[in-house]
Structure 1
Amino acid sequence: MSYVMPEDFVTKMIDAGEAKVFMATRDTLIRAFMAGAILALAAAFAVTVTVQTGQAIVGALLFPVGFSLLYLLGFDLLTGVFTLVPLALIDKRKGVTVRGMLRNWGLVFTGNFAGALVVAVMMAVIFTYAFSVPPNEIGERIGSIGEGRTVGYADHGAAGMLTLFLRAVLCNWMVSTGVVAAMMSTSVSGKVIAMWMPILLFFYMGFEHSIVNMYLFPSGLMLGGDFSIGDYLVWNEIPTVLGNLVGGLAFVGLTLYATHARTAATRRPADAAPVAPAPAAAPREPETLSMS
C-alpha cells in the first residue's frame, strides 16, 4: 500500500476539517444521514452475526465493513468531525470560526441521528413483522443492550457515569485513529486495512460510540427494552457525545497536530561539539591575459 508520511497526512486532516466547515448545508446533511444509516446497518449486522454464531469476536471482525464503506463514499460521522474540524480552527485557516465549527457539528449530529433512526425503525419492523409478533432473538438482544448500557450504568451512580464517559473517550480515540489511518494510504486496500484494526478494537471492547448508540437505543426502545428516553439521553447519549469529543480531539487530532504540523525545534546532544563555521574562501588572483 502506498504509505503517506505523517507530516503529509496531518496536512490532509487540516484540509479536510476546513472543507467540512464550508460545505453546503444540504451536502452536510445528506452525507451525515447516509453515514448514520450505513453505520446503523453495520451495527445490526454485527449483532445478528454475534447472536447467530454465539461469538462476539465474529461480529466485531465484520462490523468495520460499515465504517469502511461510509468513509470510502465520503460520508461524515460526528466522531470524525469532532477530530478534524477543530484543527482547521487551531491552524487559523481563513474564514474558519467557532460558529462555523459548531454549525458543522450540529448538522452532522442531526443527519447522523436521522439516518440511524430510519434504520432503527426499518430493522424493528423486520424483527417483529411490523410489530405484529414479539421481537425475535436478535431483537431481544438489541433491547437488552439498550437496557444494560443505560440503567446498567445508572445502577452504579457516579462510578457508572465515569465508566460510561471513559468508554466514550476510548471509543473515539480508536474511531478517529481509523479516520486518520485511512489517510495514510493512497490505495483502497491500504485504507481499508488501516481502518479495520482500530474499529475492530473499539467494537469488541464494548466502547461507547454516539452514532452506533443512535441506532441501538431507539431500536431497543421499540423492541421492548426496559429503559426510557430520559435514561437513554442522560445515561448514554449525552455523556457519550462528550466523551467522543474529548477522545478524538485530545488523543488523535491535537497530538498529531502538535507533533507533525507544529513540530518543535530539533534538540542537539548536550556534549555535541559546536559546528565550526566553514572557512572563508581565499581571494582569487586576477587572471593575466597574454597576447601572442
Structure 2
Amino acid sequence: MSYVAPSDFVTKMIDAGEAKVFMSTRDTLIRAYMAGAILALAAAFAITVSVQTGEPLAGAILFPVGFCLLYLMGFDLLTGVFTLVPLALLDKRPGVTLNGVLRNWGLVFVGNFAGAFTVAVMMAIIVTFGFTQAPDAVGTKIGAIGEGRTVGYAAHGAAGMLTLFIRGVLCNWMVSTGVVAAMMSTSVSGKVIGMWMPIMLFFYMGFEHSIVNMFLFPSGLLLGGNFSIMDYLVWNEIPTVIGNLVGGLTFVGLTLYATHGRTAPKRSPAKDSRSATGERVPAE
C-alpha cells in the first residue's frame, strides 16, 4: 500500500489528463463505452441488493466494486475526465488545446451513454422476461427512481433545479476524490481502499452521477416510468452533467493543482514574525 505524496500524484493527474487528450478516437470510445457499461451493471447490482435485502446501505457498500474494476482496467468516465483533462491545459502541456479537451469530453460522453444504454436495455429484458410481463420488484424500483429524480425535482421548480445541481456537484466531488485516491497508492489493495469510501458515500447519499443516470433513466423509460425523455434531459441529465463538471474540477482538480502542482511562494519568517503585542520581531 505504498503511499504516493500529493506533489507526486498531482503530477500523475496532469500526465493522465494529457494522455487522454491525445488518445485516439477509437480507444477513447471503447474505454468510455466499457466504463459506462460496467458502472451501469454496478448500479443494477446495488439496486438489486437493496431491493432484496430491504437495506439501501448494503447496496451502497457493494456499488463501488464496479467503479474499482473500471478504473483498474483503464476505462474512462465523464466525471473523471472532467477533473483530469483540464489540468493538462492549465499546465500548458505542449499540444493540449481547449478543442482537444472538449473533443475528449464529447467522445467520453457518447461512449459512456452507449455503454450505459446497452446495459439498460439488457436489464429491461431481464426484469420483464423479454417484455412479456410487468417489471419485477427490481424493475419497479428502477422506474420509481426515474420518476422521483425527474418530475420529483420539477415539482419544486427553481428550488428543485438548485437541489439537483448541488447533488451533481457533491457527487463528482466524491467521485473525483475516488479517482485521485487511486493515485495515492502503487498497490491494487491501496487503490481499492482509497476509491471505496467516497464512491460508497455518493451512492448512499443519493447524489446525482451523470453516467449512473444514463442507465437509470433510460431503464425507467423502458420499464414504463411516468416521465418523458424531455423530463430526463431537462430535469436530470443536463443539470447533473454541469454539476458534475463544477464539482470535480473546482473541489478536486483545481484545488489540488493550485496547492500541490503550482504552489504559491513560501512566506518569509522575517516578514511575518511578530511579538505577542503585534510588533514585528527582527529575524535572527
Instruction: Give the TM-score of the pair, scaled to structure 1.
Output: 0.93
Residue type matched to 1:83 in 2? T
Percent pairwise identity: 80
| Contact 2:143/2:220, CA 8 A, preserved across alignment | yes
Q: Which residue of 1 aligns with 2:277?
A: none
Q: Which residue of 2 aligns with 1:139?
A: 139
Residue type matched to 1:270 in 2? S
Q: After superposition, what is the alpha-carbon deviation per residue over 1:35-70, rounded to whole angstroms, capped at 9, x for unaligned?
A: 000000000000000000000000000000000000
Please say if 1:270 is aligned against 2:270: no
Q: Distance in 1 between matches of 2:96 and 2:283?
A: 44
Q: Distance in 1 between matches of 2:201 and 2:42?
A: 15
| Contact 2:83/2:253, CA 8 A, preserved across alignment | yes
Q: After superposition, what is the alpha-carbon deviation per residue over 1:12-40, rounded to whole angstroms, capped at 9, x for unaligned?
A: 00000000000000000000000000000
Q: Which residue of 2 aligns with 1:101?
A: 101
Q: Distance in 2 between matches of 1:264 and 1:22?
A: 30
Could you tell me how far 1:266 is from its partner in structure 2? 1.6
Could you tell me how far 1:274 is from its partner in structure 2? 2.8
Larger radius of gyration, structure 1 or 2?
Answer: 1
| Runs of 4+ residues over 4 Å off in structure 1 | none
Q: Distance in 2 between matches of 1:270 and 1:147?
A: 60
- 1:106-117 to 2 correspondences below 5 Å: 106-117=106-117
Q: Which residue of 2 aligns with 1:15?
A: 15
- 1:164-179 to 2 correspondences below 5 Å: 164-179=164-179
Q: Distance in 2 between matches of 1:170 and 1:106?
A: 22
Aligned residue for 1:2, secondary structure, equals coil
Please say if 1:54 is aligned against 2:54: yes
Q: After superposition, what is the alpha-carbon deviation per residue over 1:186-236, rounded to whole angstroms, capped at 9, x for unaligned?
A: 000000000000000000000000000000000000111100000000000
Q: Which residue of 2 aligns with 1:239?
A: 239
Q: Distance in 2 between matches of 1:86 and 1:266?
A: 26
| Contact 2:273/2:283, CA 8 A, preserved across alignment | no
Q: Distance in 1 between matches of 2:233 and 2:265?
A: 46
Q: Distance in 1 between matches of 2:273 and 2:120?
A: 62
- 1:103-252 to 2 correspondences below 5 Å: 103-252=103-252
Q: Distance in 1 between matches of 2:194 and 2:137?
A: 33
- 1:246-261 to 2 correspondences below 5 Å: 246-261=246-261
Aligned residue for 1:34, secondary structure, equals helix
Q: After superposition, what is the alpha-carbon deviation per residue over 1:139-190, rounded to whole angstroms, capped at 9, x for unaligned?
A: 0000000000000000000000000000000000000000000000000000
Q: Which residue of 2 aligns with 1:68?
A: 68
Unpaired segments of 5 or more residues in structure 2?
275-280
Aligned residue for 1:274, secondary structure, equals coil
Residue type matched to 1:220 in 2? G
Could you tell me how far 1:273 is from its partner in structure 2? 4.1
Q: Which residue of 2 aligns with 1:279?
A: none
Q: Report the aligned-residue RMSD.
A: 0.7
Unpaired segments of 5 or more residues in structure 1?
276-292
Q: Distance in 2 between matches of 1:15 and 1:231?
A: 38
Q: Distance in 1 between matches of 2:186 and 2:91?
A: 24
Matched positions, count: 275
Q: Distance in 1 between matches of 2:255 and 2:179?
A: 15
Q: Distance in 1 between matches of 2:152 and 2:189?
A: 39
